[in-house]
A and B are shown apart, each in its own frame.
Chain A
């Protein structure tokens, strides 16, 4: 039969498209043509495939016209993982492998001239997409079999060479082949701080009871957080400890996150499923595309997607460029980010807890407490700076906290209880379980993600609490968006306290968290003991 179809996948953002690679080998002007919007790097695939087939001891149809179509033909295609499917399709067309064997298997991998199978980025999301399309068999390069087998119910075949693939498809004994290299990148540098985030604990910090409670709420309900305060008051320290308060990812979340990292090519060999919430803290020089995703060629997930299900800290956030800050609006609201390019628009998940940290002024020394104010900025500078802090972004932030510097009094208090991250994590996990129970069957998991209308209609606050919140709206102290944020916060406060429905006490705490007003000390008695 001069015609065969093999299956592989194309990725655009977090979308996986099933690609039929069709090869037709028939008489005509001798040539090999590749159609279906391949990009230039994919055109090189013809040469790799031809040499790989020849060097595997098989025949390339060199006396006939070979047409290879990547369909659907309108989708732009990039990358080197099509090699295996192209080679196998050609071999199917020449009858080397039975065309019928290609029907239910997805082929992923790059070929070497010797016929070896090399690793490619993005295997996990591709296999996930294949699984969702009902495929149960997938062939991947041997080093990536582990990554592919994270997808439940998938029959993964990790092979070393084209010859092995052919033998497997023909149901013949699989020949030996030299092992292939894993993804070529290895970490050249390892630095002392690499595992630091796993080491830090909430118990290291003294005082800051107000902020401790705020991060507990943020962790429990997935709420965004703004921390402001003079430099050195512990904004970064406490933000770094939020990932430690989050429970392990669910299997579903872990797959999403690992898939994003696989897309970014950031999955290091030996990394299994990522089960701990990630932490990303891009520098304030970061470009928009590095933060939200983009880049030339394939759209690579940005830092905000790599922090999916975890914590994204923007330290010194007023120093970020204005366009970068504005690009954050969408992910803050919807939990995903769409990156529009000339030819395509991709949507990537970006549902992290965003923590903004800001100094009170450019020099960082301004303090409302006159006795320790050492600010040297001019009033104009301070005003410009504050304008960046308050704006459309901060309206999308659920919790605002103003930190005071920790005084020696706090660290010398003999009765201070310093809770460890594990203690708080247990409460966060319990609160998250209550949310999971309540939102069973809904597409959202946490209070911070519940759409406003659904919240108002199906999970309203108690009537008295609603009055309290509406009162703030009347007085102009809250926006409509702010009301929704306060309702979400009130639910999280109730979940942490084990209260079935938020009442006025919970609403009051939520209003304080939102407005930056100091909390009632009674809220924190657990810690103050």
Chain B
């Protein structure tokens, strides 16, 4: 057990998640010396005042033991399991006075954070509609089937639908919490979180036992965005925490995607605004998401296209003639030429060509459309 791990643990408990001050000092002095300074009553004055009340009650080794007994591990930068994508937070601009990579994260569950296959965040409103939850579940199931991991926040609504869709798809999924990984918030999601701890991972930068607060949710959102290659917002009203996650994805220059809803639906308004402003790309299915989050050229999605019809391949002159051929009552080629506004000789040869394609048929009285042309 290196001292750096313990120092980071202690410091993470002293400060609040997302604290720029703490992260800045750790980067400057190193965790160990900062911790030593604080214990000695020294260090930056502002920080010392902040942490004074928490300093007495801090025993990093005891915490680590207790967590290990609960099957919870502490992952810090430099560990094998440390997901490098979190480091991008150190270079991105802060948002609402928060930012920087966490000092470490607590992980519960068998999934290793460094081995998440092209992780994608699927987030959205807690007050989602069943349209949104259905779409989120389908999308997540599609993503894990294509080999992606799904990351979300285990909240009501879209988040839980995303986790459950990924579980149904039999793929890896990670919940990032704003409280200790041993706690269930919301409490109704105890079964979901236990299940994730058994076959996925539950992650938080807050020590076991910590309770969620409004600001901790905002700090948590930056981890969701940073852990993943892209963020999909499924349903978000104009005031929704999911939009905060979306802003983080923007700060990190990771693809931001939105699933549209009915234009009359309030829970989709925030998403529509994201798409309208150009911040988010419109996606409707897992393939669209993979195209943006997969490695370059790996998941090029075929745009939906109508099935080609025989008429699609015709030249303009051929189309002109075909339009002039009557449906039921045969017409002579000179009358067709008149209707089409083309020369008789050209029309005759074109009609022969169309007949070879089976689009028109010649009767003793003239030309008319063959049945195949009906569907064109």
Binding site for B on A (CB under 8 A): 209-210, 370-371, 404, 407-416, 517-522, 524-525, 528-529
Partner of A413, one of B168, B265, B267, B304: B168
**Closest Cβ of chain B: how far from A390's Cβ, in Å?**
18
Partner of B168, one of A371, A414, A519, A529: A414
Stretch at the interface among B54-62, B73-81, B153-161: B153-161
**What are the residues of chain B within 8 A of A416 when measuring CB–CB?**
164
Q: How far is the CA of A409 from the CA of B132 in the complex (A)?
A: 14
**What are the residues of chain B within 8 A of A529 when measuring CB–CB?**
188, 191
Closest to B304 in A: A370
Given A521-B133, A529-B188, check contact A409 B304 (CB 8 Å). Answer: no
Given A209-B130, A409-B141, A414-B195, check contact A521 B168 (CB 8 Å). Answer: no
B164 touches A522 (CB 8 A): no
Residue B127, interface by CB 8 Å = yes
**Closest Cβ of chain B: how far from A48's Cβ, in Å?**
65
A521 touches B157 (CB 8 A): yes
16 pairs, A vs B, C-beta closer than 8 Å: A371-B285, A407-B138, A407-B141, A410-B137, A411-B168, A412-B168, A414-B168, A415-B167, A415-B191, A415-B192, A520-B129, A521-B156, A522-B126, A522-B127, A525-B188, A528-B160
Q: How far is the CA of A529 from the CA of B184 in the complex (A)?
A: 13
Within 8 A of A (CB), among B165-196: 165, 167-170, 188, 191-192, 195
Partner of B130, one of A371, A408, A415, A524: A524
**Closest Cβ of chain A: how far from B161's Cβ, in Å?**
7
**What are the residues of chain B within 8 A of A413 when measuring CB–CB?**
137, 164-165, 167-168
A409 touches B137 (CB 8 A): yes
**What are the residues of chain A within 8 A of B195 when measuring CB–CB?**
414-415
Q: How far is the CA of A429 from the CA of B169 in the complex (A)?
A: 37
Q: How far is the CA of A476 from the CA of B158 in the complex (A)?
A: 31
Residue B128, interface by CB 8 Å = yes
**What are the residues of chain B within 8 A of A408 when measuring CB–CB?**
141, 168
Closest to A523 in B: B130
Closest to B124 in A: A521
Residue B352, interface by CB 8 Å = no
A409 touches B138 (CB 8 A): yes
Q: How far is the CA of A344 from the CA of B282 in the complex (A)?
A: 65
**What are the residues of chain B within 8 A of A210 when measuring CB–CB?**
130
Residue B50, interface by CB 8 Å = no
SS class of chain A's interface: helix, strand, loop or mixed?
Answer: helix
Known: A412-B167, A520-B129, A522-B156. 17 other contacts (CB 8 A): A409-B137, A409-B138, A412-B170, A413-B137, A413-B164, A414-B168, A415-B167, A517-B262, A517-B265, A518-B131, A518-B265, A520-B127, A520-B267, A521-B133, A521-B157, A528-B133, A529-B191
Q: How far is the CA of A415 from the CA of B170 in the complex (A)?
A: 12
**What are the residues of chain B within 8 A of A415 when measuring CB–CB?**
164, 167, 191-192, 195
Size range of the chain B interface in the assembly: 20 to 34
**What are the residues of chain A within 8 A of B126 when measuring CB–CB?**
522
**Closest Cβ of chain B: how far from A380's Cβ, in Å?**
15
A519 touches B129 (CB 8 A): yes
**Closest Cβ of chain B: how far from A267's Cβ, in Å?**
43
**What are the residues of chain B within 8 A of A414 when measuring CB–CB?**
164, 167-168, 195
Residue B114, interface by CB 8 Å = no
Residue B323, interface by CB 8 Å = no
Closest to B196 in A: A415
Closest to B186 in A: A525
**Closest Cβ of chain B: how far from A411's Cβ, in Å?**
8
Residue B134, interface by CB 8 Å = yes
**What are the residues of chain A within 8 A of B137 when measuring CB–CB?**
409-410, 413
**Closest Cβ of chain A: how far from B261's Cβ, in Å?**
9
**What are the residues of chain B within 8 A of A371 when measuring CB–CB?**
285, 304
Q: How far is the CA of A176 from the CA of B191 in the complex (A)?
A: 72
Q: How far is the CA of A371 from the CA of B262 in the complex (A)?
A: 18
B130 touches A518 (CB 8 A): yes
**What are the residues of chain B within 8 A of A370 when measuring CB–CB?**
304
**What are the residues of chain B within 8 A of A404 when measuring CB–CB?**
134
**What are the residues of chain A within 8 A of B128 when measuring CB–CB?**
520-522
**What are the residues of chain A within 8 A of B132 when measuring CB–CB?**
518, 521
**Closest Cβ of chain A: how far from B244's Cβ, in Å?**
20
Closest to A404 in B: B134
**What are the residues of chain B within 8 A of A528 when measuring CB–CB?**
133, 160
**What are the residues of chain B within 8 A of A407 when measuring CB–CB?**
138, 141
Q: How far is the CA of A416 from the CA of B165 in the complex (A)?
A: 11
Q: How far is the CA of A517 from the CA of B138 in the complex (A)?
A: 19
A519 touches B285 (CB 8 A): no
**Closest Cβ of chain B: how far from A13's Cβ, in Å?**
43
**Closest Cβ of chain A: how far from B119's Cβ, in Å?**
19
**What are the residues of chain B within 8 A of A522 when measuring CB–CB?**
126-128, 156-157
Closest to A416 in B: B164
**Closest Cβ of chain A: how far from B233's Cβ, in Å?**
16
Interface centre among A411, A522, A524 (most CB of B within 10 A): A522
Q: How far is the CA of A517 from the CA of B128 in the complex (A)?
A: 12
**Closest Cβ of chain B: how far from A30's Cβ, in Å?**
81
Q: How far is the CA of A79 from the CA of B42 in the complex (A)?
A: 107
**What are the residues of chain A within 8 A of B285 when measuring CB–CB?**
371
Q: How far is the CA of A409 from the CA of B136 in the complex (A)?
A: 11
Closest to B133 in A: A521
The 10 closest A-B pairs by CB, nearest first: A518-B131, A518-B129, A412-B168, A210-B130, A409-B141, A518-B130, A413-B168, A409-B168, A521-B133, A521-B128
Q: How far is the CA of A529 from the CA of B156 in the complex (A)?
A: 9
**Closest Cβ of chain B: how far from A509's Cβ, in Å?**
11
Q: How far is the CA of A528 from the CA of B192 in the complex (A)?
A: 10
Interface code B297-326, partner A: CB below 8 Å = 1, 0 otherwise?
Answer: 000000010000000000000000000000
Interface code B199-238, partner A: CB below 8 Å = 1, 0 otherwise?
Answer: 0000000000000000000000000000000000000000
**What are the residues of chain B within 8 A of A525 when measuring CB–CB?**
156, 188
**Closest Cβ of chain A: how far from B325's Cβ, in Å?**
22
Q: How far is the CA of A414 from the CA of B137 in the complex (A)?
A: 13
Closest to B194 in A: A415
Q: How far is the CA of A522 from the CA of B126 in the complex (A)?
A: 8
Given A371-B285, A415-B192, A529-B188, check contact A519 B170 (CB 8 Å). Answer: no
Closest to B264 in A: A517
B165 touches A521 (CB 8 A): no
Q: How far is the CA of A524 from the CA of B161 in the complex (A)?
A: 12
Q: How far is the CA of A416 from the CA of B82 in the complex (A)?
A: 33
**Closest Cβ of chain B: how far from A227's Cβ, in Å?**
15
Q: How far is the CA of A108 from the CA of B289 in the complex (A)?
A: 77
**What are the residues of chain B within 8 A of A519 when measuring CB–CB?**
129-130
Q: How far is the CA of A518 from the CA of B127 in the complex (A)?
A: 12
**What are the residues of chain A within 8 A of B168 when measuring CB–CB?**
408-414
